[in-house]
Amino acid sequence: MASRSKSRTAPSGPSPFVVEAAPLPREKFSDPRITAAGETRASVALTELDTLWFNTGTLCNLACATCYIESSPTNDALVYLSADHAARFLDEAQAMGAREIGFTGGEPFMNPDMLPMLEDALARGFEALVLTNAMKPMRRHEAALIELRERFGAKLTLRVSLDHHSKAVHEAERGARTWEPAIDGLRWLSENGFSIAVAGRLLPGEGEVEARNAYAALFDVENIAIDPRDPARLVLFPEMDADKDIAEITTACWDILGKSPSDIMCATSRMIVHRKGEAAPRVVACTLIPHDPGFDLGATLEESSRDVPLNHPHCARFCVLGGASCST
Ligand code: SF4
Ligand code: SF4
* Domains within the chain, CATH numbers bracketed: 49-241+265-304 (3.20.20.70)
Task: Give the torsion sign (CA, 192, 197, 198, 199).
Answer: negative
For every residue of 81-127, DSSP letters joined together read PPHHHHHHHHHHHHHTT--EEEEESS-GGGSTTHHHHHHHHHHTT-E
Q: How many CB atoms lie within 10 A of CB 95?
A: 11
Does 133 sit in the ligand 1 pocket, CB within 6 Å? yes
Nearest ligand, measured from the Cα of 288: 2
Which pLDDT score, from 0 to 100, does residue 1 have?
Answer: 42
Which pLDDT score, from 0 to 100, does residue 276 have?
Answer: 98
Which pLDDT score, from 0 to 100, does residue 240 have?
Answer: 78
Which pLDDT score, from 0 to 100, does residue 4 have?
Answer: 55
Residues 6+ apart with CB under 8 A from 187: 222, 223, 224
* CA nearest to 178, candidates 133, 131, 234, 224: 133
Burial of 230 (0-12, 13-18, 19+ CB in 10 A): exposed
Q: Alpha-carbon dihedral of residues 178, 179, 185, 190, nearest 10 degrees?
A: 160
- Decide if 81 contacts 107 (C-beta within 8 A): no
Which pLDDT score, from 0 to 100, does residue 9 have?
Answer: 76
> Going by CA atoms, what residue is nearest to atom 2 of ligand 2?
315
- How do the pLDDT tens digits run along the chain, 328 residues long? 445 555 667 898 888 887 888 899 999 999 999 999 999 999 999 999 999 999 999 999 999 999 989 999 999 999 999 999 999 999 999 999 999 999 999 999 999 999 999 999 999 999 999 999 999 999 999 999 999 999 999 999 999 999 999 999 999 999 999 999 999 999 999 999 999 999 999 998 899 999 999 999 999 999 999 999 999 999 998 777 889 999 999 999 999 999 999 999 999 999 999 999 999 999 999 999 999 999 999 999 999 999 999 999 999 999 999 755 454 3
Q: How far is the C-alpha of 73 from the C-alpha of 311, rounded, in Å?
A: 30
Which pLDDT score, from 0 to 100, does residue 6 have?
Answer: 53
Q: Which atom number of ligand 2 is nearest to the Cα of residue 295?
A: 7
β-pairing, 282-284 with 296-298? Answer: antiparallel
- 39: Cα within 13 Å, side-chain hemisphere: 13
Angle at 266 between CA 115 and CA 269, to 5 degrees: 30
Which pLDDT score, from 0 to 100, does residue 269 have?
Answer: 97
What is the Å distance from ligand 2's center to 291 Cα?
13
> Going by CA atoms, what residue is nearest to atom 7 of ligand 1?
67
Which pLDDT score, from 0 to 100, does residue 44 have?
Answer: 98
Identify which of 44, 241, 254 to mutate to test ligand 2's pocket (most ligand atoms within 8 A of the CB): 44
* CA nearest to 247, candidates 29, 40, 26: 29
Does 64 sit in the ligand 1 pocket, CB within 6 Å? yes
Q: How far is the C-alpha of 316 from the C-alpha of 250, rounded, in Å?
A: 10
Residues 6+ apart with CB under 8 A from 132: 107, 108, 109, 138, 158, 159, 160, 161, 185
